[in-house]
A and B are shown apart, each in its own frame.
Chain A
């Protein structure tokens, strides 16, 4: 059963049929999926959800799909870790990590949005799916397309690391490198989306694709025992995730799964790509594009498509935004790995580094419930941390040499050298 009422313009409110459209023909505002919440309220309950498999489709009434999904049976429902060791370091008892480093199949939150896009691509009868990407999105689209049996074409700007190309091409996707700068790639892809009958997940399927991001928020609420945290810190790149988590929280209240409660939503950006945080700090709606310069490549978007809606969602919730330097991001990645055994990509380091700042600013109190969003896996970006971890000790394969090293470590009072 399908509970989607229509597509609706976020700006002028005009309604459109459920088709591969993304822009209001009248005012050019972005389109968003509108649901029949009353019907969902009658059908969906905590008990119904609890009986379903642990994947993102457990909230399917609040996702814009008909029939059975084609991918995503192992996507979503990632752990909400109670971070007791990290919390002890920060003095926060109820600190949680929403851990999409272990989202499947491609280890980032993009598996959520792409699952929904892939289902819609099949429903609309597309045979080729596509996107423009430098990393996580490309990998997710390629992997889900392989599972769905759809052809896949990925566009990348020139200069992308070889590993990123392999990460998509291995799934059988055709990778096309576009000469020119990012603006050129943007223009070309929107032109191709207009001209060719392809499903560009974040262009002509964007209203559906972005709905998948709500599941990140649904899961946080469910995993906290159907409660909202006092604070959630989310990274912002193109601006998909944060406003959709906010929408998801509102929807849970709307359909009777949650009691209304305040939850401050905070935006985290890398200092080298922080147009939304800058606008928040200036108190303006004008987001001035920047040229990204940061190790946090997965959130290095200087001109976020939905930045305006991030501002709105943060302000409405009473939240705030901060940015973190590359050095702060790497330190936070190491802190997270050292205390909780979670190796995040730099975007995760960014959200933790920003959480530290919000605690220092007393915007977050230590007695409150805090969720830090970790949206991608550090194994995909090993180079980001490579220069800042302890170098290995090298010895020959002789016990005597290890004995000497052990004595040295003992003198250095290294923890594993048996010094009580």
Chain B
């Protein structure tokens, strides 16, 4: 199976900061991830991480995160200028 690595920023709104979302993510989608940076304040949680898995696993995981209320962005964010 094709495996790939993709890099994302996750932004958690205040309401989700206490939820163990990444734990659920790994259980549900059998992905590897590596956190490269994180910052949690009263208002928001920001996590920079790399996922490793098949493209379809990563796609489904991102869909699930978004449905859970997390903003998921590739680290390049927008490249259309």
Contacts and interface: CB of A to CB of B under 8 A. Distances in A.
Contacts of B78: 182, 186, 238, 301-305
Interface in A211-262: 237-238, 240
A23 B36 CA distance: 12
Nearest to B9: A28
B40 interface: no
Interface in B1-27: 7, 9, 11
Contact of B37 (A28, A237, A284, A305): A28
Given A28-B48, A286-B43, A305 B80 contact: no
Interface SS, B side? strand
State which size class the interface on B falls in: 10 to 19
A190 B80 contact: no
A200 interface: yes
- Among A26, A28, A133, A302, max chain B CB count under 10 A is at A28
A305 B7 CA distance: 14
Interface of B: 7, 9, 11, 36-37, 43-44, 48, 50, 71, 73-81
Contacts of B43: 284, 286
A303 B50 CA distance: 20
A22 B74 CA distance: 13
30 contacts: A23-B76, A27-B48, A28-B36, A28-B48, A28-B75, A132-B80, A133-B80, A133-B81, A136-B81, A137-B81, A182-B80, A186-B76, A186-B77, A186-B78, A186-B79, A186-B80, A189-B79, A190-B79, A200-B79, A202-B79, A203-B79, A237-B81, A238-B81, A286-B11, A286-B44, A288-B71, A289-B73, A303-B77, A305-B77, A305-B79
B60 to A, nearest CB: 15
A213 to B, nearest CB: 12
Closest 5 CB pairs of A and B: A305-B77, A137-B81, A28-B48, A27-B37, A132-B80
B79 to A, nearest CB: 5
A314 to B, nearest CB: 19
A286 B39 CA distance: 12
B80 to A, nearest CB: 5
Interface in A345-390: none
A281 interface: no
B6 to A, nearest CB: 9
A277 interface: no
Contacts of B11: 286
- Among B7, B37, B77, B78, max chain A CB count under 10 A is at B78
Contacts of A190: 74, 76, 79
Contacts of B9: 28
B76 A305 contact: yes
B80 A203 contact: no
A26 B81 contact: no
Contacts of B73: 289, 303
Contacts of B71: 288-289
B20 to A, nearest CB: 21
Contacts of A237: 81
Nearest to A29: B37
